[in-house]
């Protein structure tokens, strides 16, 4: 339809008084023709009609003494009204990008205030869009991801209870806080992340008990538990999420959760199990058409193969995945990770020359881009190669080149303490392959966890 529906038609639509053949054109006007004025009008009518919806539900649930026909009519009316409200929320989703663009044109200080005061931004669909945008931005720009998640919380908390059913509002409020907690995790604020997730879990108890929402929150919580080195707890929540995604036949979500489960197992000291899990994830990601995630899954699988002592198998997997690397690892940071993995494979195969060349390239790139954590880790990889070749003097040279690492604000104090122990041992010519491996394994687990202490074995202490 090209003309706007009348107010009377919109009112009948939201009250469930129109048959499907008459309601359909209004749904299309809201969803396909994307009429924002009519959307805002019908939202106001939803608020006015809310007592009627609540009464229909109450009559059906509580009034068992009503004649059956009257109870059935109450149920039918409630279902029709709920369907119309669902159609309005579907229409809201289409406006998420442009409403976010409007908000971002304001100063950062004004964005949250305008959400609190302007009804046009208090949309369920906008809260959903902000959560999606935050999750997409978290690895590219964590500061942006944090702001988007904070805005999602503002929108979710401002949702009108007369328009949106309270249980579904609680679901969205929980998801927004879980997304905020995920961004806090990536920013290495594990305390803030834990607080956000505890709030999310409490809100879920008041929510609709929707298994998919709970699985989404559980999947994000699993990532936090991994960074907290609480691997057993991570496995529990991730398996619960996996069961839901399996039952919903969502191969993309299944594959993503399996990738996290592999990390939980690998960091817990079971790299062989991580390899098995990633082998399960790859067909699912292929089925979902998620080539970029497939590239990451292959990358992680090869890395865990190296950890498991399967160097030849790792080389074969890496060669198989080269076309995926060529298509999806174009950014300099990803190229660095690829070259780093090559060095690890060469080192595991015993080819010190190729491993050294690869690690030196990664060190130079990390130094130029001031990536201190990467510089520390790849320096340890290189030190391990030198030690295995009996070149203690080169390890001393590496230790003396680490001044930029100790001046960096990127390494937290426990990570700096671990690197300081290595440097002192190298200077005293007492650094061993065992010590270097312990520090390296610690740094792999402690990247986002500033609270994780380095506790060297007694023989290195």
pLDDT of residue 68: 55
- Any domain includes 372: yes
- Any domain includes 42: yes
- Any domain includes 48: yes
Alpha-carbon separation of residue 390 from 386, 387, 396, 433 (angstroms): 6, 5, 12, 10
- Any domain includes 339: yes
Q: What is the torsional sign of CA 138, 255, 269, 434?
A: negative
- Any domain includes 159: no
pLDDT of residue 1: 46
Query: Per-block average pLDDT, block size 10, for the chain (461 residues)?
Result: 84 86 92 93 84 52 51 64 86 95 95 95 96 94 96 97 90 98 95 97 94 97 97 97 95 97 96 98 96 96 97 96 94 94 97 97 93 93 94 88 81 91 90 92 91 76 46
- How far apart are the C-alpha atoms of 290 and 253, rounded to whole Å? 10
Q: Which of 312, 311, 338, 315 is nearest to 325 (CA)?
A: 338
- How far apart are the C-alpha atoms of 280 and 268, rounded to whole Å? 19
Is residue 329 classed as helix, strand or coil in its secondary structure?
A: coil
Q: Which of 41, 64, 92 is the last residue of a domain?
A: 92
Q: Which of 92, 122, 153 is the last residue of a domain?
A: 92
- Any domain includes 243: no
- Any domain includes 143: no
pLDDT of residue 448: 85
Burial class (CB in 10 A: 0-12, 13-18, 19+), 82: middle
pLDDT of residue 58: 47
Q: Which of 241, 199, 184 is nearest to 450 (CA)?
A: 184
Q: Which of 344, 345, 326 is nearest to 380 (CA)?
A: 344
Q: Which of 29, 60, 92 is the last residue of a domain?
A: 92
pLDDT of residue 461: 46
pLDDT of residue 20: 84
- Give the structural domain span for 454: 331-461
- How far apart are the C-alpha atoms of 210 and 145, rounded to whole Å? 25
pLDDT of residue 80: 78
- Any domain includes 453: yes
Domain count, the chain: 2
Query: Cβ neighbours of residue 115 under 8 Å, at least 6 residues apart?
Result: 103, 121, 122, 151, 154, 155, 158
């Amino acid at each position: 339809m090209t003309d706007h529906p009348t107010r009377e038609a919109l009112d009948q639509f939201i009250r469930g008084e129109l048959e499907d053949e008459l309601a359909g054109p209004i749904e299309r006007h809201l969803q396909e023709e994307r009429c924002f004025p009519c959307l805002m009008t019908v939202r106001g009518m939803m608020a006015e009609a809310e007592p009627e919806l609540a009464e229909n539900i109450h009559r059906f649930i509580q009034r068992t003494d009503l004649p059956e026909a009257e109870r059935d009519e109450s149920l039918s009316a409630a279902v029709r009204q709920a369907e119309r409200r669902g159609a309005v929320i579907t229409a809201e989703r289409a406006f998420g990008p442009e409403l976010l663009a409007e908000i971002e044109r304001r100063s950062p200080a004004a964005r949250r205030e305008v959400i609190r005061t302007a009804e046009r931004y208090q949309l369920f669909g906008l809260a959903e869009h902000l959560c999606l945008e935050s999750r997409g931005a978290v690895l590219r720009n964590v500061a942006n991801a944090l702001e988007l998640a904070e805005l999602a919380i503002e929108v979710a908390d401002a949702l009108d209870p007369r328009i949106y059913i309270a249980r579904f509002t609680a679901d969205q409020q929980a998801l927004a806080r879980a997304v905020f907690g995920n961004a806090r995790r990536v920013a290495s604020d594990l305390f803030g992340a834990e607080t956000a997730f505890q709030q999310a879990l409490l809100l879920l108890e008041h929510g609709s008990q929707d298994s998919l929402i709970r699985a989404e929150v559980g999947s994000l919580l699993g990532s936090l538990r991994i960074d907290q080195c609480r691997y057993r707890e991570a496995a529990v929540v991730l398996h619960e999420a996996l069961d839901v995604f399996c039952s919903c036949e969502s191969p993309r979500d299944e594959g993503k959760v399996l990738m996290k489960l592999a990390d939980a197992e690998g960091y817990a000291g079971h790299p062989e199990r991580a390899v098995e899990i990633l082998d399960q994830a790859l067909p699912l990601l292929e089925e979902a058409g998620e080539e970029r995630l497939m590239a990451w899954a292959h990358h992680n699988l090869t890395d865990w193969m190296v950890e498991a002592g399967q160097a030849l198998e790792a080389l074969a997997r890496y060669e198989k995945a080269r076309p995926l690397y060529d298509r999806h690892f174009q950014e300099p940071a990803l190229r660095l990770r690829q070259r780093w993995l090559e060095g690890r494979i060469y080192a595991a195969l015993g080819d010190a020359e190729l491993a050294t060349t690869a690690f030196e390239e990664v060190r130079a790139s990390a130094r130029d881009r001031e990536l201190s954590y990467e510089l520390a880790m790849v320096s340890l990889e290189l030190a391990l190669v030198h030690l295995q070749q009996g070149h203690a003097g080169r390890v001393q040279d590496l230790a003396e080149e680490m001044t930029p690492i100790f001046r960096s604000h990127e390494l937290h104090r426990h990570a700096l303490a671990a690197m300081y122990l290595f440097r002192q041992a190298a200077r005293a010519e007492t650094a061993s392959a065992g010590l270097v491996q312990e520090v390296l394994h610690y740094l792999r687990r402690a990247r986002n966890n500033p609270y994780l202490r380095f506790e060297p074995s007694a023989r290195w202490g």
